[in-house]
Structure 1
């Protein structure tokens, strides 16, 4: 089940959404080698990914975490570590990771940018990403494993969308065995379903007996980003823009909520 579009037109060209997507893709293709060389990918994730244990000092210096058959990421205390909550937002671990994030960003990001303006959107995006990173560090403060991806910041966009446009229809691409269908559903159904999945996956991590149910995914970064976006959107929203968008959407889709 994948969101591929929504019935939520924009009034202004989402320049910042395009720019951020462009940077993410550029970094993947030219900085991470498009994932074609495992060594280059491992080096980029190790050097620029966020390691909770390095930020908190709770991972022992010199601890080596295998990244590939011939490479390991070694815990250090380099000054660059302080910037990894930002740099890690623009890195990814594989094509599936990249394309999934870009798809959600493409569908939902333009409307949130259109509701607050370009500069506010940039600040909102980065702030949600930092809060998401903080949530992951709080849950895994001693983890020596590098974390990368725009998922936390994009989760903030999803939380904001739920608050502003819960009843807008989102078109889902559904795979049922050999059948493929596109089904429009209210945004709140898609977003709450997604959030509940994150909670179901993440809650076992809070138990005293640790679980690997997350499959290596920083689900608490998703949860933290989503909650941050929902909580902050009214602070960042430009109400004049939102009112214009609502009027325009009702003109284009008078039968839609």
Structure 2
């Protein structure tokens, strides 16, 4: 299922969401222009490598400062490939603008970064011996999805489902789309737990940790019920 758009209008220009998208894109393009060895060092320095904080000797051996906790934030702006960044930018474009609309620009950036840091911490906590960098905006985006799940459950999301060579489009409630998203995260996490030797390209703990953080924390960043929420509840 590929989300295309949602039905909730945005009353403000989501400058913070746009800025995050631009920064992620510029960083990704800059890394493409780097020599491979430099890009790898950049990923390990500014991505969150769990064993770096669990085993300081490992960090020193590879020339990484073990106390460089800034990577719990900087990893949110790094991506490992075209597909990785494309999916994250799509989710930001569709869902983040409405949450920024509810919170306002200042509160939203604090909420976004806080969810991202908590998501990264969850990934570190449950995979402390991981030696590959954890990168990507998906943990912070999961926080946005957690807020969206509770604020706009009956918004309509248009999704694309490719069947062989035929793209099919469906319109479903946001609560259904995001519910399936959570189930998929749990399924992948269970598979990774049952088969620990299986390689994975996604930080499932970060996804779930970010979603829970967003679901729990988002009321603290909203002053009052938005007219948008009322409209969303009554739409169709």
Q: TM-score of the superposition, structure 1-length normalised?
A: 0.84
Tell me by how many angstroms 1:246 deviates.
Answer: 3.3
Tell me by how many angstroms 1:62 deviates.
Answer: 5.6
**Which residue number in structure 2 is paired with residue 43 of structure 1?**
41
Q: How does 1:103-252 map to 2 (within 5 A)?
A: 103-206=90-193, 210-212=196-198, 215-240=200-225, 242=226, 244-247=227-230
- Confirm or deny that 1:19 pairs with 2:6: no
Determine helix, strand or coil for the equivalent of 1:183. strand
**Aligned mates of 2:94, 2:118 — CA distance in 1:** 22
**Which residue number in structure 1 is paired with residue 32 of structure 2?**
33
Q: Deviations over 1:213-252 (max 9, x none)?
A: 6x23111100100111111111112325x2x2235557xx
C-alpha contact 2:56 2:66 (8 A) present in aligned 1: no
Q: Which runs of 4+ in 1 moved over 2 A?
A: 36-41, 56-63, 74-79, 203-207, 246-250
**Aligned mates of 1:204, 1:249 — CA distance in 2:** 36
Q: Give the gaps of 5 or more residues in structure 2.
A: none
**Aligned mates of 2:12, 2:2 — CA distance in 1:** 25
Matched positions, count: 236
Determine helix, strand or coil for the equivalent of 2:189. helix
Determine helix, strand or coil for the equivalent of 1:220. helix
Q: Deviations over 1:108-149 (max 9, x none)?
A: 000000011101000000000001001101111122211110
**Which residue number in structure 2 is paired with residue 67 of structure 1?**
none
**Which residue number in structure 1 is paired with residue 65 of structure 2?**
77
Tell me by how many angstroms 1:15 deviates.
Answer: 1.0
Determine helix, strand or coil for the equivalent of 2:44. helix
C-alpha contact 1:59 1:143 (8 A) present in aligned 2: no
C-alpha contact 1:75 1:144 (8 A) present in aligned 2: no
Q: Give the gaps of 5 or more residues in structure 1.
A: 64-73
**Aligned mates of 2:56, 2:207 — CA distance in 1:** 23
**Aligned mates of 2:174, 2:10 — CA distance in 1:** 16
C-alpha contact 1:166 1:187 (8 A) present in aligned 2: yes
**Which residue number in structure 2 is paired with residue 70 of structure 1?**
none
Tell me by how many angstroms 1:210 deviates.
Answer: 2.2
Change in Cα spacing, 1:61 to 1:128, as seen in structure 2 (3 Å) is closer
C-alpha contact 1:117 1:238 (8 A) present in aligned 2: no
Determine helix, strand or coil for the equivalent of 1:202. helix
Tell me by how many angstroms 1:184 deviates.
Answer: 0.7
